[in-house]
Amino acid sequence: MVNLEGRSVVLIVEDEPSYQDALNIGLTVEGFIVVAAGTIAQAHELMMSTKPDLVLLDVMLPDGSGIDFCREIYDTSRIPVIMVSARSSEVDVVLGLEIGAADYVTKPYRLRELVARMRAVLRRPAANAEEEVITFGDLRIDFVRRTVSRQGREIELSRKEFDLLALFASRLGQVVTRETCLDTLWWGLELSDTRTLDTHVKRLRQKVEEDPANPRHLLTIRGVGFRLDA
């Protein structure tokens, strides 16, 4: 919940005191309101009492797995989660992003980089959509419930697919460049990894288009990006 001064509340779930202290100080200096938990149990309580705008979640915690807790957060709220891990194996990153983590950082990270990622996540349309529902053609996007339906039938989207659709929908009729997509949704991915973006767009198109081979809504603007048309 953005408080009266317009500052975002971030919940840090981190059991290493050195990291917790550094984040507490560093993020406060950056203008965030910081609440910190060392265990999942404490995080549970703070989620209820503080209604954070963003959660920074360590993967290895004394009373459980951050991955499982991330799933739980997404089942019960719209609060974005950035996973933080000491392990940098690709499996972890993929798992983290697949369960819908908004982003993923690996220790040791630079505070400046982390803050930039946090701000990018908080800027995402799905995190602070002003309009609750957008309807166009036979599609209906509900930003509060994070659901999409076509002709009244709900379409199942992954968190990433929804975020991507929400980004396009926030600029209906305008081209969204590939760079914007990557900056907003895949922080830190190199341009050589843009196949990930294409894969997601393709999957999204298969889900929201009646005839994915001849899309009517989600169009590719070759060499530039994408455009969602009503």
Contact footprint for Ca ion (CB under 5 A): 15, 58, 60
How many angstroms from the chain centroid is the CA of residue 13? 17
Give the separation between CA 176 and CA 181, rounded to whole angstroms. 7
Give the separation between CA 19 and CA 84, rounded to whole angstroms. 11
Which sign, positive or negative, has the C-alpha torsion 211, 168, 164, 126?
Answer: negative
Burial of 122 (0-12, 13-18, 19+ CB in 10 A): middle
Taking the complex as a whole, the smallest distance from the CB of residue 77 to Ca ion amounts, in Å, to 22
Taking the complex as a whole, the smallest distance from the CB of residue 91 to Ca ion amounts, in Å, to 17
Coil, strand or helix at 10: strand
Taking the complex as a whole, the smallest distance from the CB of residue 19 to Ca ion amounts, in Å, to 8
Q: Which residues contact 91 (CB under 8 A, 6 or more apart)?
A: none
Q: What are phi and psi of 7, to 5 degrees?
A: -90, 145
The residue with its CB nearest to Ca ion is 60
| Short-list 100, 105, 134, CA closest to 118 | 105
Residue 35 or 61 having the CB closest to Ca ion: 61
Give the separation between CA 188 and CA 93, rounded to whole angstroms. 12
Taking the complex as a whole, the smallest distance from the CB of residue 71 to Ca ion amounts, in Å, to 18
Taking the complex as a whole, the smallest distance from the CB of residue 38 to Ca ion amounts, in Å, to 9
Residue 65 or 174 having the CB closest to Ca ion: 65
Residue 60 or 99 having the CB closest to Ca ion: 60
Residue 58 or 163 having the CB closest to Ca ion: 58
Residue 15 or 92 having the CB closest to Ca ion: 15
